[in-house]
Structure 1
Amino acid sequence: MQGAIRLHWRDEQLPEGRGPFLSYGNGRSYGDSCLNSGGTLVDLRGLDRFISFDADTGVLRCEAGVLLSDILGRFVPKGWFPPLTPGTQQVTVGGAIANDVHGKNHHRAGSFGHHVRRFELLRSDGSRLLCSPRENADWFAATIGGLGLTGVILWAEIALKKIEGPAIEVESLRFSGVKEFLELSRASHNAYEYTVAWIDSLTPGPGGARGLFFRGNHAAGHHAVAPSRRKPGLPFTPPVSLLPRAAVGLFNTAVYRWPRRRRAIVHYEPFFYPLDAVPNWNRLFGRKGFYQYQCVIPQDQAEAAIGEIIAKVARAREGSFLSVLKVFGNRRPPGWLSFSRPGTTLALDFPDRGRSTLALLDTLDEITAEAGGAVYPAKDARMKAETFERGYPALHRFERYRDPAFASNFWRRMTSGDT
C-alpha cells in the first residue's frame, strides 16, 4: 500500500504532517471507502492481539486489526462463534465496526454494531475516547458505520455466542419471484437463525426472478464436517471478463436446476464464506473489474421496488454473477451511517462495461431513492452525493464528529460533488 503507515499497539499518536489519514483494515471493501489517494492509510493489521475473554459471558476484547478468521480459528473449537458474520471472514474487527457489517441473521441479531460493548477511539489530536452506548454515546454512534473517518479504533469488546460445534444444518428451497421470497422469509423468521437467497437475475420464473432460498441453524450435537477446500483460483488477471452474459446465464441455470438435498449438515465455512475458498475470484471480471451494487428497500416498498430493479437488470442484459436477497430485521440501526435497517436488501455484481453499466446503476439508484431506500457505501464507487444524502439523513450530524484529519476517496467524492 503506497503511502501507508503501520500503527502498532504501542503507538501514542498519529505522526504529524502525514494526513489526511484513513483507518485501513484488510481492504475488503468493494468500493473506494478504504482508499485515500494522496493521503496516508493507517494500516491496522499490526493491532492483532487478543486482550481478554470472559468464558462466562462470551465477551471478547481484542485489538482492531484482529481478523474474523482469527476469532473463528481460536474460539469455534471452544464452542463460541461471532454474533454475526459478513460474507468473508477476512475482515478486521475494526472494519466490521466501521462498516457496521451484517450477516444472514440480521432478522434475529441485527448488525455488528449491536454486539459491540465498547471500544477505544484514537483521534488525530492524540486524545483517546472510551465509547459505548452509555459513555461518549454520540462518538459510539458516529463511529459504528462511520467508514473509518472518526479516528482509529484501537480495540473493541464484542459478545460472542455459544455453539455446540462447527456444523450448520441447512435447508434449501426453490422459489419464483420476490413475493414468494418474502413469504419464505416471514415463514422462516422465528425457526431459523440464518436466511438468505440467491437469485437468477437474468432468467425470470413464473412469478419473477427465480432463486434458491437457504435457511439454517447451528447444528445440535457434534457433527464431523469438513471446512471448505481451497480451489486453485486464477493466478493472473485476464485482459477481459471471463463472465460474459451467456456464461452467466448458463451458470445461473445450472445452479438453479442442480439436484441437491433439501436438508444437509455442512461446515460453517461453505455456508458463510463460499467465495473465500476461491482465491482471487475477483479476477474473473478481467482488468476492468466489476461494480457491486447493494441497496436496502423499506419493507412496504420491497416487493415492487426489488421486482422493478431485477426487471431492469434482466432487460439491460448486463448480467450479474452474484445476486443475493436478504430480509433485514426491525432493529434500529446502531450507527448514524449504518446501512442495514428494516427492509429487504439486494446485492448484485456487474462486470464494468463502461457507460452502459454506469447508466444502469444510476437507474437502480433512482428506484432505490424513490422507494426511500439506501445504497451501501462499503460497496460503492460511483453513486452521486445526493443519493447518499437521501439515504443517510444523519449525514450532516455525522460530519461534526468526523476527525478533521481523516478523509477517503469516497468521502471526498460525496462532499466535493465529483461523481
Structure 2
Amino acid sequence: MSAFRTVELAGWGRYPRRPGPVAHPRSVDEIATLLQGGGIIARGNGRAYGDSAMGAAATLDLRRLDRMLAFDAQSGQLVAEAGVLLGDVIAAFLPQGWFPQVTPGTKFVTLGGAIAADVHGKNHHRDGSFGAFVDWIDVMNADGKVVRASREEQADLFAWTVGGMGLTGVILRAAIRLRPVESAWIAQQTIPAPSLRHAMDAFEAADDALYSVAWVDCLAKGPALGRSLVITGDHARAADLPTQYQSKPFETPRKRRLSLPFDAPAAALNGLSVRAFNALYWKRGQRAPRHRLIDWDSYFYPLDAILGWNRIYGRRGFLQFQCALPLETSETGLAALLSETAKAGQGSFLAVLKRFGAQESRFSFPMAGYTLALDFPANARTFALLDRLDAITLDHGGRFYLAKDARLAASSLHRADPRAETFRNMRREAGLDRAFASAQSERLIL
C-alpha cells in the first residue's frame, strides 16, 4: 500500500490550492524510500504563505519528526528534529531562561521550515536571520544519504540549505543556539511616527534596541504617507519587573485564545473597512503608553492569539507581498510602494516595516535596508496591484521573499536576484533539481 495519500494542499495564505500526494514519514529510513520517485519537497507546519511547501510531484509532511534530542545548558545549544515547532521550544526552555535567538511573527513554524526559509525577526538589524544561530544541519541528499553540514564541514551544502527553501535536500535535524533571558517579559516602547521619514528616523535612532518593527498605515496619503507606529523592545531584566513577578519572572498571565472557525465574507474586507481600521489603530497607538512591559507572546506573536486568522480574507484566501530594498533606495522605494497601494485603495491592515542589517548569504532574502510586508485578498485587482509593486521593487534594486510568495513571475525573481540563476545551476549540476522540486521552484525556474 502506498504511503502517499492525495489531499488538497495550500500555504497559510490559502492561495493557491491544489491536490497532491502527501506522506507522513516517521523515520529517516522511510524518508529515504519515499524520495525515490523524485519531485519531492519537505513540508513543515504549512506556514509558508504560498506554494513553496507543495511538492511538484509529492510532498513529505515532517511533523512526525518532532523530538528534541539534546540540550547544552552552558552554551544554549539545542539539537532537535526538523518537525519541532518553535512554540514547543519556547514552552520547554523559556521557563529555564532560554528563548530563540531569532523568531518570525508566528511560533507555529517548524525548525526545518525556519532554516529552509532562513526566517528573520524584529532583530535582524542587530543579530541577522535564523541561520546565523544554526550550528549544523543533517540533510538527506537525493541518494538517501544523510550528510551533516556546518560552516566547517560540507560548508557549501550548509550555505545553500539555509535559505534554500528545501531545494537542496530534506532537513532532518539541526543544532540551534538559544538566547539566555532573565524573564518572559519585553520592555516595549511605542513611537508614533507621523510620516515615512519620521518612521525611518525612529528606526535609525533605535538602532541599539534589540527588537524593532513598525505597523504602517498603508492607506495614508500626502504628508501622512507612511505614518507608522514604531515599536521597539528588549528582554526585561528580572529586577525591572513589578514586585509580584520578580520572584516568578517566567510566569505571565494566562491568555484567552480566540478563533475564527469560518471564512469571513469577502465584502467585509474592503478599502473602507481597512481605512477605518487603520485610522482607529493609529489614534489608539498615539494614546497608548510610550513605555510598558508586555509578555513575550503578545509582543512577538499577536496574530497567533487568533487561531485561523487567515480566514479573515475569505474563501479565496490572500496574497502577501514582501520585498527588501537596499538602504540607499529605501526611502524613495517605500514611498513609491505605499503611494501605489494608497492610490489603489486596497490597503492592508497588516502592513509591517522592519530595518534589516547587513547579510551576506547564498540565497537568503535579507539585505541591508528595509523590508515591507503587505497582505491583500486574493482577487483580480490584487494581482494587478502586485504586478505594479513588483515593478517598483525592481526599479529600486529590491528583492522578494520566497516564503511569502505565491505568484511572482520567474522573470521578476531572476531580474531582482542574480543569485537565483547561480542557485539553479548548482541544483542542476548536483542533480538536486530532479529529486527536490516544489510548485514554487517550477514556477520560478529554480
Q: Give me the TM-score of the superposition, normalised by structure 1.
A: 0.94
- Opposite residue 165 of structure 1, the aligned amino acid is S
CA shift for structure 1 position 10: 4.4
Q: 1:95 to 1:31 in 2, by over 3 A?
A: same
Q: Give me the TM-score of the superposition, normalised by structure 2.
A: 0.89
- Equivalent in the alignment of 1:57: 75
Deviations 1:248-268 (A, max 9, x none): 111111111013111110111
Residues 299-338 of structure 1 aligned to structure 2 (within 5 Å): 299-333=327-361, 336-338=362-364
State the distance in 2 between where 1:145 and 1:364 align: 23
CA shift for structure 1 position 403: 4.8
CA shift for structure 1 position 16: 5.6
Contact persistence 2:38–2:434 (CA under 8 A): no
- Equivalent in the alignment of 1:252: 278
* Structure 1 residue 32 corresponds to structure 2 residue 51: yes
More moved, 274-283 vs 3-12: 3-12
- Unaligned 5+ segments in structure 2 are 1-5, 8-20, 246-250
- Residue 422 of structure 2 aligns to a residue whose secondary structure is helix
Paired residues in the alignment total 411
Residues 193-272 of structure 1 aligned to structure 2 (within 5 Å): 193-204=210-221, 206-221=223-238, 223=241, 224=245, 226=252, 229-258=255-284, 259-272=287-300
- Opposite residue 397 of structure 1, the aligned amino acid is T
- Equivalent in the alignment of 1:385: 410
Q: 1:16 to 1:68 in 2, by over 3 A?
A: closer
Contact persistence 1:241–1:284 (CA under 8 A): no
4+ residue runs over 6 A deviation: none
Q: 1:228 to 1:385 in 2, by over 3 A?
A: farther
- Equivalent in the alignment of 1:100: 118
State the distance in 2 between where 1:203 and 1:305 align: 16
- Residue 69 of structure 2 aligns to a residue whose secondary structure is strand
CA shift for structure 1 position 340: 1.1
CA shift for structure 1 position 36: 2.3
- Equivalent in the alignment of 2:40: 21
CA shift for structure 1 position 414: 1.0
Q: 1:33 to 1:373 in 2, by over 3 A?
A: same
Contact persistence 1:33–1:377 (CA under 8 A): yes
State the distance in 2 between where 1:357 and 1:102 align: 25
Deviations 1:93-150 (A, max 9, x none): 0000000000000001100011111111001311221111121111111111111111
* Structure 1 residue 129 corresponds to structure 2 residue 147: yes
- Unaligned 5+ segments in structure 1 are none
- Residue 361 of structure 1 aligns to a residue whose secondary structure is helix
- Residue 147 of structure 2 aligns to a residue whose secondary structure is strand
- Equivalent in the alignment of 2:371: 345
Match of 2:442 among 401, 412, 417: 412
More moved, 205-214 vs 405-414: 205-214
What RMSD in Å do the two structures reach over aligned CA positions?
1.7
* Structure 1 residue 84 corresponds to structure 2 residue 99: no
State the distance in 1 between where 2:254 and 2:37 align: 42
CA shift for structure 1 position 392: 2.4
Deviations 1:193-212 (A, max 9, x none): 00000010012363522110
State the distance in 2 between where 1:206 and 1:193 align: 30
- Equivalent in the alignment of 1:296: 324
Q: 1:242 to 1:207 in 2, by over 3 A?
A: closer
